[in-house]
């Protein structure tokens, strides 16, 4: 942040969501939350007023950052919806689960009572990013996408369809290793048509690149 720019109010989401099957089991993904925590730390270092809304993770929130912890996608939607109206920018790095069990059980499902094949009905979770981006006004909304193929094409589609200002598209590995345990390879796109290739970028370096772009888009907005 340069001396002429006022501090921005930035909301960052991070981590996975947990969708309960019963009181002791859940559907999740291997997101570690490291990208979101790195962005929140860099935003605070630059003097921005930063709120971090995070799913379950072992990471310690950066000092001076307001942290709100959630578990499910619907809880995240409630918390982000509360913070969004008072923000200048929303950075959605969280790996929000697309689906949840339709009817979570109140008691532990007993293995011995299940057939060899057991169906678990799922329903779609709310599209947090798309919902808020469509009512953003002057706010900047940044999305993240993890893709296994056609990374750039999918990123461009998501940027356009969700009416985002910027998007980071990360290429997933088929091994299923935690997202946060490796550097970022993919693309950084913005609404003005800029596309930057990311080749083995660290989380800290990505945080700097992303916030440089957020600050630039905010300063040059018309």
pLDDT tens sequence for the chain (222 residues): 655 478 999 999 999 999 999 999 999 999 999 999 999 999 999 999 999 999 999 999 999 999 999 999 999 999 999 999 999 999 999 999 999 999 999 999 888 777 777 889 999 999 999 999 999 999 999 999 988 889 999 999 999 999 999 999 988 776 655 555 678 999 999 999 999 999 999 999 999 999 999 999 999 985
Judging by DSSP bridges, how do beta strands 184-190 and 122-124 pair with one another? Answer: unpaired
Rounded to whole angstroms, how far apart are CA atoms 39 and 205?
Answer: 9
pLDDT computed for residue 43 by the predictor:
98
Backbone conformation region of residue 79, classed left if phi is above 0, alpha if psi is from -120 to 50, else beta: alpha
Active site annotation includes 170 = no
Structure tokens at 28: 């999740």
Judging by DSSP bridges, how do beta strands 166-171 and 66-69 pair with one another? Answer: unpaired
The pTM assigned to this predicted structure is: 0.93
pLDDT computed for residue 172 by the predictor:
79
pLDDT computed for residue 113 by the predictor:
78
- From the candidates 29, 125, 170, 194, which is the catalytic residue? 29
pLDDT computed for residue 48 by the predictor:
97
Rounded to whole angstroms, how far apart are CA atoms 101 and 120?
Answer: 7
Rounded to whole angstroms, how far apart are CA atoms 203 and 153?
Answer: 23
Q: What are the chain's domains?
A: 9-99+121-219 (3.40.50.10300)
Rounded to whole angstroms, how far apart are CA atoms 83 and 112?
Answer: 45
């Amino acid at each position: 942040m340069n001396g002429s720019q006022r501090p921005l109010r930035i909301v960052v989401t991070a981590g996975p969501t947990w969708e309960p099957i019963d009181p002791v089991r859940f559907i999740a993904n291997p997101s570690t939350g490291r990208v979101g925590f790195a962005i929140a730390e860099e935003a605070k270092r630059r003097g921005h007023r930063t709120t971090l809304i995070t799913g379950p993770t072992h990471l310690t929130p950066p000092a001076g950052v307001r942290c709100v912890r959630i578990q499910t996608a619907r809880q995240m939607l409630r918390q982000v919806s509360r913070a969004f109206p008072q923000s200048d920018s929303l950075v959605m790095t969280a790996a929000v689960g697309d689906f949840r069990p339709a009817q979570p059980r109140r008691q532990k499902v007993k293995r011995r009572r299940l057939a060899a094949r057991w169906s678990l009905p799922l329903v779609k979770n709310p599209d947090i990013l798309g919902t808020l981006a469509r009512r953003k006004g002057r706010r900047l909304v940044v999305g993240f996408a993890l893709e296994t193929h056609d990374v750039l094409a999918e990123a461009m589609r998501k940027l356009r369809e969700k009416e985002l200002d910027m998007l980071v598209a990360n290429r997933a590995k088929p091994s299923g290793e935690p997202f946060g345990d490796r550097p970022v390879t993919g693309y950084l796109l913005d609404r003005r048509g800029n596309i930057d290739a990311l080749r083995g970028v660290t989380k800290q370096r990505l945080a700097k690149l992303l916030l440089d772009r957020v600050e630039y888009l905010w300063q040059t907005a018309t």
